[in-house]
Structure 1
């Protein structure tokens, strides 16, 4: 009996201890859920100028003490430059659940395209608050669409070289004004290269009775390594021919535009990647950048271009203005400066160096600078992907052969869509716009003429949807192939019909391009 009572007592003690233990657990304070901090933008985008924006920081619930949150900034817009300076911390007051970060847009006169402001919540100094999601918010600054009104008084403001010669300034202004009523028609090597090598008048003059408004040239032979500058040298002979053609064009009242098929800098033999080694393709462009193995070599080529440009004088004794179009069709891979062989930053870096070296170091004052990708772009963002900035470009253009190669109305409409993009950008940025290089290569018996190519497809591409374009340039004729027909060709009548259309300007319809009105 005694043992039985002891067992009962032991069980009772265990029961009491268990209940006491359970009651103790129930009395522990509950775990408190922490507040989370998030950030959002009140609107997706704002306009420069005219509208500001804001970000909002929110806590999931209020807390007893103030919460200091640290911020980091990203995006293409700069804190304190594109918008009023924002501190790198923000405080949510005690017992509050939100606070606003006002964004005051700082207005400038530069059209920069869309810029982004990114603010990220980096950390919290309040132990009761953690960073939640979303921790980053983005706001876009969009330039308001304002067409710049160019006048003789303000034209230098919008040019790359504010110290350009009076004739160069007049050329810029007159080309810009021409776009309001018509577009100039040009041809590469108009006064040097002819179908069937039939020299004399330009092929366009042979067919229409009037020279084109623009003549194209190339610094290729001029800057080639074998050019010794000696009278018995073939390359130097080409240099003299090219220079004389530019003088003749100026004296006629035509406009000169020079491209540059620069040879790769290792052997100086080609500009086509199909003829280069993989090592050459990979390193050619990088080697001409500042600090690169061929940078001095590149500078010497620019010195030659400057020397030739500064030597061009017309019968009036004035320096002849030229449009310089370097490193064109960079969105393709057929040239060693193409998109696969340099980054956008490297392309921009070299473009800016080129402009600054020619303008500031070598003192070239009779040059406008033209930016011209090929036809791969489909939007403003595509077009501007490697754009070096308004301070480094006078002419917005692009090259297009594919849309006129038996593509009919669809091709013309596609070309017009691209021309709408550059026309709009040129209005907003006070730049000249044009179709910098185009054509369809006719070799009778192989590639035959296209019915209505000039009077229908080219003309509609250059005029539909109220585009404002200053010029278009056909590639040159030569040998058995032409881009503009001579009188005996079956498509000569189509070209004549094109030349007589209201908005087409050959030389006879141009104003005095080198005189300010």
Structure 2
């Protein structure tokens, strides 16, 4: 209660002119809201700044923005090619870093991807963007797939249970977390400081396309695995530059639905949602559904001192799939802002050679995206200020 009162008092005082009063913010009070009470200063500042930023803006980012381009046209991110401004955040993945075939040798393809991912995280941090990581974790028996439609029945039914404490693949799982811990603690910007990351393990768990999905583990098992993951990284491995995100897909309609597999406030910093379905040619009804779901997590974030985010979304454009009219400037924007919700960031999925989620320049929906980023609450890199410092 003490830190909640302190936080609310800060927000009240911050509405006054800086000439009238100098505000002193105690990082200890901010850390008391976080999963990691020993979070680094930069990680603490990122948490605080994203939470306060959401009251007026949402940051815009994309998965693999610095390395995956539509038509393989290299250079700046496709967002920057189109708008002249770079992403406020970048999404990355622990998958290649943690692949069984990553030998750590310079000639190894998976290790080469690891190097690129590290470089992308450093670039984002150095320019003032922030970094999120998901993990498309390949099943622990053969290490081949993360999608269940490619697995036999035994693997689908047993993969998740096998990595639980006491399971036959639990030590294998711990080694994967060891790799994440090593990578993350040794991820430094040009200033020598550890780069904060937002990590959302076992995402889209309410569907069953991943082996950690709803058909393959109980609510109790999911919560147990999530809490173990946090405690192992934070307490056993001493990783203190992670903000932890909880991100189901869009299959909830009520607060109890959303919280069904929620591991508890002590283990979650970001209340997220991945949502493609409500934007898949669903018209105004889909936008309203998406906004109502975002309002659920926005309200919960306010109540529980968390950050709310649309952790993955988009509508993929291909040669046979045309853009939706005003997809960004109307549909996405309304979903992120109607009902006075507070969403800290939105991440679009990555572009590829023959398809895109966010247009580069001179495409049919390029102007629609420009209109989107020119809306009052939309924010790219130029709209972020010192997100790794707590400003008075």
TM-score (norm 2): 0.94
In the alignment, structure 1 residue 467 sits paired with structure 2 residue 331: no
The residue number in structure 1 matching 2:144 is: 269
Matched, 1:192 2:67: yes
Which string of whole-angstrom CA distances, capped at 9 and with x for unpartnered residues, describes residues 488-515 of structure 1? 1011000000010100000011121101
In structure 2, the partner of 1:321 is 196
**Offset at residue 469 of structure 1 (A):** 0.7
Matches within 5 A, 1:47-446: 149=8, 151=10, 152-153=25-26, 154-444=29-319, 446=320
Tell me the CA shift for residue 165 of structure 1: 0.4
Q: Deviations over 1:181-235 (max 9, x none)?
A: 0000010011111111111100000000001101000000000000000111000
Query: Structure 1 residue 148: deviation in Å?
Result: 6.6
| CA distance 1:148–1:410, change in 2 (3 Å) | farther
Instruction: Tell me the secondary structure at the aligned position of residue 60 of structure 2.
Output: strand
Q: Whose Rg is larger?
A: 1
Counterpart secondary structure, 1:187? strand
Per-residue deviation at 1:150?
7.8
Structure 1 residues 306, 409: CA separation in 2 closer, same or farther (over 3 Å shift)?
Answer: same
Q: Which has the higher contact order (CA 8 A, sep 6+)?
A: 2
Secondary structure, counterpart of 1:434 in structure 2? strand
**How far is 1:302 from its partner?**
0.1
Output the CA distance in 2 between the equivalents of 1:150 and 1:437. 33
Alignment gaps of 5+ in structure 2: 11-24
Q: Whole-Å Cα distance in 2 between the matches of residues 410 and 495 of structure 1?
A: 21
Structure 1, unaligned stretches of length 5 or more? 1-107, 112-145
Question: Stretches of 4+ moved more than 6 A in 1?
Answer: 108-111
Please say if 1:457 is aligned against 2:331. yes
- Indicate the structure with greater helix content: 2
TM-score computed with the length of structure 1 as normaliser = 0.71
Deviations 1:366-398, CA, capped at 9 Å, x for gaps? 000000000000000000000000000000000
CA displacement 1:326-356 (0-9 Å, x = unmatched): 1000000000000110000000001000000
Find the counterpart in structure 1 of residue 13 from structure 2.
Answer: none
Match of 1:511 among 366, 385, 391: 385
State how far apart, in whole Å, the 1-side matches of 2:140 and 2:244 are. Answer: 22
Task: Please state which structure has a larger fraction of its residues in strand.
Answer: 1
Q: Which digits, 9 at most, give the CA deviation of each residue in 1:254-311, with x for residues without a partner?
A: 0100000000000000000001110111110000000000000000000000000011
Describe the SS at the equivalent of 1:221: coil
Q: Distance in 2 between matches of 1:234 and 1:434?
A: 33
CA distance in 1, matches of 2:166, 2:2: 33
Q: CA deviation at 1:109?
A: 8.9
- Residues of 2 paired with 1:174 and 1:416: CA distance? 23
RMSD, matched Cα: 1.5
Partner Cα distance (2:366, 2:305) in 1? 36
SS in 2 for 1:425: helix
CA distance in 1, matches of 2:202, 2:3: 24
Q: Is the 8 A contact 1:148 1:429 kept in 2?
A: no
* Distance apart, 1:149 and its partner CA: 2.8
